[in-house]
A and B are shown apart, each in its own frame.
Chain A
Amino acid sequence: MFKGKKVIIIGERDGVPGPAIARCMMAAGAEVAFMTTECFV
C-alpha cells in the first residue's frame, strides 16, 4: 500500500522514533520525503 508513495514521518522519542518508521516505509517501497523525531517532554 505504500509502494511508490511519498511519506512524511513524525516519530516520537518515547514512542516509535523516525528512523525506525523510515526503515519500515522504505522496506514497503515508499519514498521518505521528510522524517523527524520529536521529544514531546
Chain B
Amino acid sequence: MIIAMLMGYLLVVLGIGMWSHRKLANTGEDFFVAGRTIGPFVLLMSLFGTHMTAFALLGASGEAYRKGIGVFGLMASSSALVVPALFFFVGTRVWQVGKTHGYLTQIQFFRDRWQADHLGLLLFVVLVGLLVPYLLIGVMGAGLTFEQITGGQIPYWVGSLTVSVVILLYVSSSGMRGTAMVNTFQTLVFMALGGLATFVILNKLGGLTAVLDQLDQNAPNLTVRGEGISPTLLITYSCIPLSAGMFPHLFNHWLTARGVNTFKGPIIFYPLCIALVWVPSVLLGMAGAVDFPGLQGPAANGVLIMMVEKHAPGVLGGLLAAGVFAAIMSSLDSQTLSIGNMFTQDIVRHYRIGGEVDESRQVWWGRLFIVMILTLTFLLSLVAPRSIFKLGIWSFTGFAGLLPILIAALFWKRSTAMGAYASVFTTAVAWLYFFNAGSKTIAGTDIMAVTVVILLSSVAMVVVSLFTRPPSNIDKFFPPG
C-alpha cells in the first residue's frame, strides 16, 4: 500500500512538472527564473518549500523527542522572525537589482558590483562547495526514508535513484516554472499531511491532554526549556536562519517574482507556514517520547515514522510518506536547478566556453548540468559515509558567514572587492576551525559558532573595505540624488 501510494505521488509530481513545460519559452531567463512572472502565492509556497527540508518533519520531531518544546523556539520562531525580515530587506532589493541589470545568479551580481572577475570565481567555488553536501544529504535522506518507510522492501539505492530520476525529469524539462509549480503542490502536501498525522496519532494516544499528562509524569523536562536549551543558545541560534539570505536556491526564487510587491504576501504569511509545519512536528516528537521511550542518537529521528507504522499504517502511512518526500524533493529540485544555473551562467556563459551562448544554448547547457549534477550526486550517495550529514548541517554556518558580503554589496557604497575577499577567507578559516573543533557552540559556552563566524566575517568586510579603493561604477548601483 505505502509503495503504491508513494509511486502514485511521484507520478503526480512528475505530471505537474511536465505539464508546466507547455509554458516554457526557450530562453535562459525563462528556464532559470521563470521569466520573472511568479505571483505571490506560488512565490510563498516555493520559497517555503525550498527552505524547509525533510528536517522540518523528521529532524524536528527527533529533536523534540530529545529536547521537548524548546525546539520550537530554537528553530521555528527564530526562522519566523529572521527569514521574512530577510525577504523584506534583502530579497526585495535583490529582486530589484536582478530585474534592472538582468542577473540570473548571485555571482553575476557580485562580479558586476565590485568589477571583480576572480572574486566571482572564488564565490562560485565556495557556494557550490557548500551546496553539494546539502544536495547529497537530500538524496541520501530520500533513500534512507524510502527504505525505512517500506520496511526494507525498497533498498536504499532504489529510493535515492527514484527520487533523483523524478527530479531530473521535471527540472530539466520545465526549469524554474516546473520547479515552482511542483514546489507549491509539495508544500501544500507536507503542510496538510503533517497536521493530519498529528491529529490521527494524538487521538490514538488518547488526545493531546493525555499525552501531556504522561509527559509531566515520565519526562517533565520536555514540557519546559529547562537546562537542555539555554537563553544564550536561543539568542545565538537566531543567526542560523540568516543562512537563507545566501542560499543560491532561495536567491533564484527571489528573482522569479513578478514584481517587488509580489514579496508582500510571502513576508506576511511566512510565520504562519512555519507554525503550521513545526507545531505538529514538535508535538509528534514529544508524543514519541511517551510511545517509544529510550531511543538514543539518530534513532530518535525515526520516531515519527515508527509512530505512523504503529498507529496509522496503510493509507495514512502512505500519505505521510508522500509528505516526507514532498519536503525532501521541494528543496532538492531548487538546489539542483540553482547549481545548474550557476554552472551555465557563471562558467559557461561568462567564459564563453564553446563560443557565444545564446538563449536556447543556455537552456541546453542548463539541462546538461542538471543531468550531470543529479547523476554525480546519486553516485556519491552510494559511497558517501553517513557522517556527511554532519557536513550538510555545517553548510548553514558557512552560508550565514557569507551574508555580510551580500548585505555590503546591496547597501554599502564604500564596500570593496578586497573587503569581500577578506570576508570569504575569514569565513572559511573560522568555519574550518569550528568544524574541526567538532562543536556547534563555543567551548564552555552556549554561544553558537555561527555567531562568531558572522561577526568575524563582518569585521573583515568593513575593515578591509575601509583600507581599499571602492570600484568606479558605484553610480550604477547607487544612483546619485
Specify whether A and B are partners. no
A-side residues, CB < 8 A to B, are none
